[in-house]
Chain A
Amino acid sequence: MVVKNILTRVLAWLILLIIVTWTLIPVIWIISLSFKPYAEWRTPSLFPKNPTLDNYIILFSPQSVSIFIAYTAIIEPITGPLIRSIAVSILATVIAVIIGFFTAYGASRYNTPGPFTLFFTLLTRMLPPATFVTPIMIYFTTLRLLDNVLGLILLYSATTLTYAVWILKGFIDAIPVEWEEAALMEGATPFQVLLKVVIPIARPGFVVSGLFIFLMSWTELLFALVLTSVNVTLPVQISKYVTAVGALWGVQAAIALLGSLIPLVIGYLIQKHLITGFTFGLVRG
């Protein structure tokens, strides 16, 4: 028995180790690459021989590192795209989650707008995005939303809304109507019932759908690339470090790393809710 137990544990650790290594190697590689000077980009060593911060410095002040100037006619510092990305992702998330919540609540409690419409919202995810890039571009031209942060916010919240609706509906479905009715009996208005009972209990749902939508908006490249030219977001900025003579790998690694820091921090902060959120449907009994 004991031997068997130990064996199981060892095996479990081994499997975990393989998975973790498998997942982490690209990340470690990017970290390493981001500290390598230009000469080492193509050398397959895990640690940089002459570590440098050049890759980061160029992000913030593109003219200061002379060696790169020959390769790229760059562009603005990373701060603009970074702020734009943060703003676009947060606002798109907030809009999608708020509208999604009310839609989900209506669907869950009053069966509006009917099951077909609810499935219809999934349509935005069923088509390959490339199929509606062109129509969206034509729309945006007419609406004067090209190269506009507002355009991206609207587009992202519209295309991710369905996640908020479906995730939150699951959470609201699990809240017994009696809890809401109990609040009504206590003299609460329907709006107070939402605010004090439904929303706090469904909080993990907000966290999960919010993070999901945030990440989707944060990493979206195709539409941002097509719809913006000057007012770009982070993923588009990364693509700009590809030049006629090759990609600036070190710089791209640096920008990728910075770009993943923010989701990482957010994920860490809301870890507790994430676990509730992901296991919610499973442990309901």
Chain B
Amino acid sequence: MSSQVVVKLENVTKRFENLVAVNNVSFEVYKGELFTLLGPSGCGKTTTLRIIAGLEYPDEGKVYIDGVDVTEKPARERGVCLVFQEYAVFPHMSVFENIAFGLRVKKLSKTEVERKVKEIAEILDLSNYLNFKGGKLGLSEQQRVAIARCLAVEPKLLLLDEPLTLADAKIKEKMRRELRKLQKDLGVTMIFVTHDQLEALMLSDRIAIMRSGRLIQLGTPEEVYDNPGDLFVATFVGSPTINLLEGVLEIDGNRLLLKTDSHKYAVASDINVKTLQGLVGSEVVIGFRPEDVEVMPEGVLEGVVKLAEIAEDKRILYVKLNDHEVKVFVDLFTSFNEGQKVILKINPLKLHIFDKKTGKKLLKGVIPG
């Protein structure tokens, strides 16, 4: 991937009356990458997208596209194209006319329009639909028409606003694959908005996680998943959600203890406690993902199986500790009974320690020792 910057947002803020929809957001998107804005609904991700598109204007900050300040420019002068959540395929026009729309606006010759439309229809597998009216298409076709219509005008940047939310699970998967393939094949720079963390993890080159108008964390899917910057990112990304234990951190020999209201857990043993010295006595939230816990023959953390559930190629154990419940991935073919006692071992390298008050990350990974 070349590192040429296509879009740059600089301290962008947008207010709607009393609500700060986008709060001092800055990031850069590189040429050819699929960049995702991820966050719960109302986090400002769509507004950010619309600011890049030129459908909203920021109250503060600058937007650059290909190095040019476009903050004040209208949408049509930016060379970007947005695929809407509901696709916005013109219902009164045929698929051909939909794709030709932008070309005709640009006043291309008739033969040129025809050539280009056919070429793009070919790429998106729409050749057989060219005479269909826009209002009569299925979702998958509508999505492809919307994308084709955008690609026809050769934008520097393709923006997609939750393009998969309308589809049901099966079509969604197909559409997701098609989208990723298309993006790779054509090398289009895409900014993709979604509230679906799984979708973001699967599709993106880089993910920007937003919450309440702020950009919380920016990184590759691996970084975001393995090294969440705060409690919000940790819980928002990953499914099933990360296990969380709340309490006061203590050290006993080479063991990490967590003192909750009613109990004391030995979260990890045989560790190098040096890095933890500074945290002793502070209120923390300890997080670890279900795949970073193992059921062991002996150890320090004991619990009772409440429920064993099959999830695709794995089995999820819901294990009750005294006043917490944790999820553990185990092999599909090992069987566990309800009420069975198990001993858990958490991989200390995959422990996330967050400040309980601020949610900020305090420490990632404890070295065994």
Report A's interface with B, CB cutoff 8 A: 176, 178-179, 181-189, 192, 196-197, 200-201
Contacts and interface: CB of A to CB of B under 8 A. Distances in A.
Given A181-B84, A184-B55, A200 B92 contact: yes
B76 A182 contact: no
A186 B88 contact: no
Given A189-B76, A201-B91, A201-B92, A181 B82 contact: yes
A11 B146 CA distance: 50
Interface string B51-65: 001110000000000
Contact of B81 (A186, A189, A197): A186
B88 A187 contact: no
Interface string B206-233: 0000000000000000000000000000
Contacts of B85: 178
Given A176-B86, A181-B55, A181-B82, A186 B101 contact: yes
A157 to B, nearest CB: 28
A176 B92 CA distance: 13
Interface in B326-351: none
A186 B84 contact: no
A187 B105 contact: yes
A181 to B, nearest CB: 6
Contacts of B53: 185
A188 B90 contact: no
Interface string B72-86: 001110001110111
Contacts of A201: 90-92
Given A178-B86, A179-B88, A197-B90, A185 B106 contact: no
A178 B75 contact: no
Given A181-B82, A196-B101, A187 B106 contact: yes
Contacts of A188: 76, 101-102, 105
B315 interface: no
A181 B105 CA distance: 14
A182 B55 CA distance: 10
B92 A183 contact: no
B105 A182 contact: no
Contacts of B234: none
11 contacts: A176-B88, A179-B90, A181-B88, A182-B82, A182-B149, A185-B76, A186-B81, A186-B101, A196-B101, A200-B92, A201-B92
Chain A: interface secondary structure? helix
Contacts of A200: 92
Contacts of B84: 178, 181-182
A9 to B, nearest CB: 32
Contacts of A185: 53, 55, 75-76, 80-82, 150
B153 to A, nearest CB: 6
Contact of A186 (B54, B74, B153): B153
A186 B102 contact: yes
B103 to A, nearest CB: 9
Nearest to A180: B88
Nearest to B155: A185
Contacts of B149: 182, 186
B101 A184 contact: no
Nearest to B149: A186
A283 to B, nearest CB: 13
Contacts of A181: 55, 75, 82, 84, 88
Contacts of B91: 201
Nearest to B106: A187
A182 B88 contact: yes
A187 B76 contact: yes
Contacts of A182: 82, 84, 88, 90, 146, 149
Interface string B132-171: 0000000000000010011001000000000000000000
Given A176-B88, A182-B146, A201-B91, 8 more contacts: A178-B84, A181-B82, A182-B149, A183-B101, A185-B80, A186-B76, A188-B101, A188-B105
A200 to B, nearest CB: 5
A183 B84 CA distance: 11
Nearest to A186: B102
Nearest to A183: B101
A8 B318 CA distance: 62
Contacts of A189: 76
Contacts of B101: 183, 186, 188, 196
Given A179-B88, A201-B91, A201-B92, A184 B105 contact: no
A135 B100 CA distance: 54
Contacts of A178: 84-86, 88
A245 to B, nearest CB: 59
A189 B106 CA distance: 11
Closest A-B pairs by Cβ, 7 of them: A186-B102, A182-B88, A178-B88, A178-B84, A187-B76, A184-B75, A187-B105
A201 B91 CA distance: 8
Contacts of B102: 186-188
B153 A187 contact: yes
Contacts of A184: 54-55, 74-76
A196 B146 CA distance: 17
